[in-house]
Amino acid sequence: MLCALIMAGGKGERFWPLSTDEKPKQFLKLIGDRTMIQMTVARLLKLIPLERIFVVTGKRYVDLLREQLPSLPLRNIIVEPVGRNTAPCIGLSAFMINKYYENSSMIVLPSDHLIVNEEEFLKTIKAADEFIHKNEEAIVTFGMKPNRPETGYGYIKCGSKEKNIDDYKIKNVEQFVEKPNTEKAKEYLKEGNFLWNGGMFIWKCKNVLQLTKMYLAKTYEVLNEIAACRENEFEEVLEEKYPEVENISVDYGIMEKAENMYVIPCDFGWDDIGTWYSVERYRTKDEDNNVFVGDIKNIDGKNNIVVGNEKPIVVVGLSDVFVVESDDIIFVGKKEDIERIKEIKKKVVK
């Protein structure tokens, strides 16, 4: 039985000032009429019923989550009292999901990615789930075929071994690689056996727990104690014990150490909506290559990104700038400085 775990605890600082600690990017309408997390749930519902879709998030986002996903069962919201990176939150979620659906498999995915070809995406999930059903100690991750020397993503180096499920090739993972510089990214693209790491993977819940026990023994011990407590004590024990888990990502804590790692080369139109440049890629542009969201008046402006809130914004004679209006601030800058937003935020927000 396949369940889904959506990770929705990130802050999305590269979308400041629209994305804030109080309302991060997964709860914003960045590339359409629905928020990123609403889009993520909607595409999964074509394959997995809502009662088997779980969301793990921080305490401060529970109300937002319930507001945007009112039909999601309350038990399916898994709450981290404090942020401790992805390995502990996935381990906690595996304990919870395994309690409701014993011997289930679990697809783990971010809440803020774009999938263009949803039909192909769901077929790929079904193939990966079938592989996991036949190979219960395996982990299958999704690797995106690169079309540019991207420096903003991690990479997966494919090995030479290959298996087939339906029409899909499943390759062994030789190595996970950190975000490269431009020259290295060009080498990866030329070599042809590197894929973008999409941060999505499928495994058996019991395998998650076994690997957590093997590689993150302290975290497993804490999570096991939380999961074993009585239902009426759960929230109190979670608050008390969860801060004791290790602060480590699932990539470092488990993936880079585990055997039986596989990857499916994918081509379903994936994008990590990580900066304003990614919004520019998918929003409608006018004849001067401007992206305008809101009530925007433009005179002789080209190649701009302008995101309004409540007030009209007039742009005259400016090119290659971005303007973002939030409830608290209006941010005006050169597009070339988009990658520096986190750095700029630190200088502005005290």
Q: Give the single-character DSSP code of 319.
A: B
Judged against a pLDDT cut of 90, whether residue 278 lies above it is answered with no
Q: Summarize the confidence of residues 230-243 as an average pLDDT.
A: 93
Per-residue pLDDT, 195 = 95
SS3 279: helix
Per-residue pLDDT, 328 = 86
Q: Using 50, 70 and 90 to split pLDDT, how confident is the model at 339?
A: confident
Residue 343: enclosing H or E segment and its boundaries?
A: helix 341-348
Q: Summarize the confidence of residues 297-320 as an average pLDDT.
A: 93
Do residues 345 and 331 make contact, with C-beta atoms less than 8 angstroms apart?
no
Q: Using 50, 70 and 90 to split pLDDT, how confident is the model at 342?
A: confident
Could you tell me what percent of the chain has a pLDDT over 90? Answer: 76
Per-residue pLDDT, 131 = 95
**What is the tens place of the pLDDT at every residue in 46-82?**
999 999 999 999 999 999 999 999 999 999 999 999 9
Q: Summarize the confidence of residues 299-309 as an average pLDDT.
A: 93
Per-residue pLDDT, 69 = 97
Judged against a pLDDT cut of 80, whether residue 236 lies above it is answered with yes
SS3 6: strand
Per-residue pLDDT, 166 = 81
Judged against a pLDDT cut of 80, whether residue 12 lies above it is answered with no
Q: Summarize the confidence of residues 280-284 as an average pLDDT.
A: 89
What's phi and psi for 3, nearest 5 deg? Answer: -115, 165
Q: Summarize the confidence of residues 241-265 as an average pLDDT.
A: 94
Sheet containing 330-334: which strands, arranged edge to edge? Answer: 291-293, 305-307, 321-325, 330-334
Residue 87: enclosing H or E segment and its boundaries?
A: helix 86-100
Judged against a pLDDT cut of 80, whether residue 350 lies above it is answered with no
Match 């960045």 to its residue by tokens. Answer: 30
- In single-letter form, the type of residue at position 94 comes to A
Per-residue pLDDT, 2 = 97
**What is the tens place of the pLDDT at every residue in 121-156?**
999 999 999 999 999 999 999 999 998 898 888 999
